[in-house]
Structure 1
Amino acid sequence: MTTLDHALPAAPAAGVPHRSLNREDYKTLGLSALGGTLEFYDFVVFVFFANVIGSLFFPAAMPDWLRQLQTLGIFAAGYLARPIGGILIAHFGDILGRKKMFTLSVFLMALPTLIIGLLPTYESWGIAAPILLLLMRVMQGAAIGGEMPGAWVFVAEHAPAKRYGFAIGSLTSGITGGIFLGSIIGVWLNSTYSSAEIHDWAWRIPFLLGGVFGLVSVYLRKFLHETPIFQELQARKQADRELPIKTILREHRQACVVVALMTWVLSTAIVVVILFTPSYLQKVFHIVPAMALKANAVATVTLTIGCVFWGWLSDRIGTRGAMVLGWGGMTLTTYLFYLNLPGTEASLVCTYATVGFFVGSISLLPVVGVRAFPPEVRFTGLSFSYNMAYAVFGGLTPMLVSVWQQVDVLAPAHYVAAMGVLGVAMGFWPLACKGWQAKKA
């Protein structure tokens, strides 16, 4: 007798029929991906208007560099809050249910986003304005810490075995699509309103839109159903044992290491290739901002497509094969891109789009990570290891690359390529390919 008869699909057994995605599965996947897109948009839109926010929420007499530093510090506070929020939301997700926490995480993101769009500025409220802004960013960080692991677990526990990787890849593409949505809104706002209008009032529009649509997403998630795996845990009264984090730290340290190392690969790919590179192109190779942002937008689109493809491929050839091809390809195309800079406009877009597609192999992290933990502590295990690793590696990567770049202009390429090699090596770690197996009682 196993602790759970259907912990998660490892891979379809030969000759054994498995169902495809049905209408209910598509509804679950669509609503989950939509919520993830809006939530990630709410989290990253802050950075697109950091300069305006800095000028409005800090004293006018403050030096520009200090104002910018404090604004980025408020942005960073969201990242620092991720582990705390992720662990707390995941803890109750393993005890009270995936759906309840899945809905709560969207609410915790939508409400502070809406409030940011309504906040009085420093001119009206003085020091209270940046303090309230900081509190809202902390709430957003706590929410995003629970959203991504929660979404991965929720969809994985609904997905049929034959479409497990495709479902998680599609969900991840929806989450990364939030970055693209934020950039599109930023371009629209700057092309529609003057700088004075944006400074006076139009900067609030992206936050108000994000807050309203986020609250709509909260309502729509009411129509989702609890995962069958958690329902079975409740029926067997296995969801309320000891504190999940205690079980994780005692019995599943290897799984935590696997997810943490894969998170290092993911955070490097996203932070360096997608977030860091546009300014790198402008500062190092003097590529005009419009061209750098255009190429980045195309790469973000191919990243979104790649998330679906690499998840789908893992269903077809197995996790190991997808990891070797995906992250091995990321290593090669990273050098193809950075070594050919600045190149022509066409070559810049083409090579950036190519590496963006292979960065989409980040969707293999949740494919592996969800399977790495048993269902009783799955949400906590994935959230703890992912968020702790992201807080460390995501926070240190920009500083490391910036310092390294002073002595080697190809520092971004070397760092991303090294992480690609690590990703390939992870494909040969037995736990990464097989995941958690139900133990005999």
Structure 2
Amino acid sequence: MSASETEAPSRRRVVVAASAGTFVEYYDFAIYGALATTLAAVFFPQQDPTVAILSTFAVFAGAFAARPLGGLIWGPLGDRIGRQRTLVITITVMTIATIAIGLIPSYGSIGVFAPILLVLLRLVQGISAGGELPGAAIFVGEHSPVRRRGFLVSWLQVSNVLALLTGILIAAILTTTLSQEALQTWGWRIPFFVAGPLGLIGLYVRRRVSDTPSFKALKEAGATARSPIKSLFTRENLRPFVFAMALAAPTTVPYYLLMTYMPTFFRSNLKFSQSQGLWAVLAAGVVLVVTIPLAGRLSDRIGRRNALMTACAAFFVLTFPAWALLTSGHFALAALGMMVLSIPCGLAMGNLLSAAIEQFPTEVRYTGFALSLGLCVAIFSGTAPYISAALVSGTGNLFSPGFYLVGVVLLPFIASFFMHDTSKRSLVG
């Protein structure tokens, strides 16, 4: 066993600890997206429902805009004080902010202060999230053997999807069992309060694992960067930074379209019920849970470059057939369309994290990945629901989000064509 690896029983604890925090993070974002139409009614004036929904997604995008700031905060911290200690802080901040959202009075009670408080707390969530997934991926990757790194790191994405499915399932149950009045009065608060015990569990698990062999070796050698941000923007690290940012697009945009925009698309544009939209997303999530670890294992066998190019090609082939099913007017076919669209999304998700963390040397790995992913998410992912809703509203073309998706995937397809495969690269040094 090399110095960069951890024994199998400890690796399992590492994966659980990292996944627990990722679960809390994405659960928080899931419930916001799943209840977007309800939150629009709670926090914004209702003279124009379309404007209210767009405002809700604008707040959603604002949290993603804060992620680069989170990368600037947590990345250098993780490269200086360690991965484990930083991840304990991020899960604490995320949990507190989510519970606080559940305590905000409605627009009808405190007027404009309601959306202001929502924006502020979503920004706090975004800052926390800016260090959560990158740090968790590095934490697992630096503990993993080279031959299984892609597979083990991919379980963070499975945790991500399971968190979203949990949030969406809770939202689906609430929208199915509660009246619209009860949901808008008090029911929407329940999922946010559930984040409390979830966060405590994640915090407990994370405090019981040690930091990575790679960071320990770096610290013992006295080689931690005094200024990770300055070290990142050097000639040798700038190319990996750009590659990591480009590679994130095929995962982040379709994923947030599937999991946060589609419930609203189903209700507002396809004229299905809110609960039907949520159940369709659940079906898509099941496909993701199966596809992601298979894609991670595949990338360990054929390399990150080949696996990522395969995922991008699958998007080009499957997006428009999937959209034809979505817009067929039949719920069963629409749900099938969601499941078809999940296949290339899962292929990309199973490869992204391992491919990205392998781009950077240890001393700037947290800073480089947190900032590159944060910028990609801010530019592409956080705006994806808003842009999709605006495209449909402005053009009247229900296929317009599909065109947007294919356009975005061109960037990582080109980037992966020029990248070197990194699947056999050591994460020490």
Specify the TM-score bucket, using the shorter chain as the normaliser. 0.7 to 0.9
After superposition, give the CA deviation of every residue in 1:310-351 in whole Å (9 maximum; x if it has no partner): 111111222233223332223212232123441755444334
- Rate the CA distance shift 1:417–1:127 in 2: closer, same or farther, 3 A: closer
1:245 aligns with 2:229: yes
Q: Residue in 1 aligned with 2:195?
A: 210
The residue identity in structure 2 corresponding to 1:208 is F
Match of 1:381 among 368, 374, 381: 368
1:309 aligns with 2:294: yes
1:338 aligns with 2:323: yes
**Residues in 2 aligned to 1:345 and 1:80: alpha-carbon distance in whole angstroms:** 34
1:391 aligns with 2:378: yes
CA contact (8 A) 1:84 1:142 kept: yes
SS of corresponding position for 2:374: helix
CA displacement at 1:388 relative to structure 2: 0.9
**Residues in 1 aligned to 2:267 and 2:93: alpha-carbon distance in whole angstroms:** 36
1:427 aligns with 2:416: yes
CA contact (8 A) 2:305 2:419 kept: no
1:371 aligns with 2:358: yes
- Rate the CA distance shift 1:120–1:77 in 2: closer, same or farther, 3 A: same
**Residues in 2 aligned to 1:393 and 1:36: alpha-carbon distance in whole angstroms:** 20
CA displacement at 1:65 relative to structure 2: 5.5
SS of corresponding position for 1:225: coil
1:46 aligns with 2:46: no
Q: Residue in 2 aligned with 1:32?
A: 18
After superposition, give the CA deviation of every residue in 1:246-273 in whole Å (9 maximum; x if it has no partner): 1111231111111111122222222334
TM-score (structure 2 length as normaliser) = 0.88
Q: Residue in 1 aligned with 2:215?
A: 230
The residue identity in structure 1 corresponding to 2:351 is L
1:411 aligns with 2:373: no
Moved more, 312-321 or 374-383: 312-321
Q: How does 1:273-312 map to 2 (within 5 A)?
A: 273-281=258-266, 285-287=270-272, 289-312=274-297
**Residues in 1 aligned to 2:128 and 2:194: alpha-carbon distance in whole angstroms:** 18
CA contact (8 A) 2:137 2:357 kept: yes
**Residues in 2 aligned to 1:126 and 1:284: alpha-carbon distance in whole angstroms:** 29
SS of corresponding position for 1:373: coil
CA contact (8 A) 1:43 1:144 kept: no
CA contact (8 A) 2:24 2:195 kept: yes
Q: How many residues align?
A: 423
CA contact (8 A) 2:62 2:382 kept: no
Q: Work out which of the two has the higher radius of gyration on C-alpha atoms and give 1 or 2.
A: 1
After superposition, give the CA deviation of every residue in 1:387-430 in whole Å (9 maximum; x if it has no partner): 01211122444455456552754333333334445444433323
Q: Residue in 2 aligned with 1:178?
A: 163
Match of 1:76 among 50, 55, 61: 61
Moved more, 193-202 or 210-219: 193-202
CA contact (8 A) 1:372 1:435 kept: no
CA displacement at 1:127 relative to structure 2: 5.0
Q: Residue in 1 aligned with 2:174?
A: 189
- Rate the CA distance shift 1:329–1:76 in 2: closer, same or farther, 3 A: closer
Q: Residue in 2 aligned with 1:164?
A: 149
The percentage of counterpart residues that share the same residue type is: 27
- Rate the CA distance shift 1:435–1:94 in 2: closer, same or farther, 3 A: farther
CA contact (8 A) 2:270 2:329 kept: no
Compute the RMSD of aligned alpha carbons.
3.0
**Residues in 1 aligned to 2:42 and 2:428: alpha-carbon distance in whole angstroms:** 57
The residue identity in structure 1 corresponding to 2:367 is T
Match of 2:249 among 264, 271, 287: 264
1:22 aligns with 2:8: yes
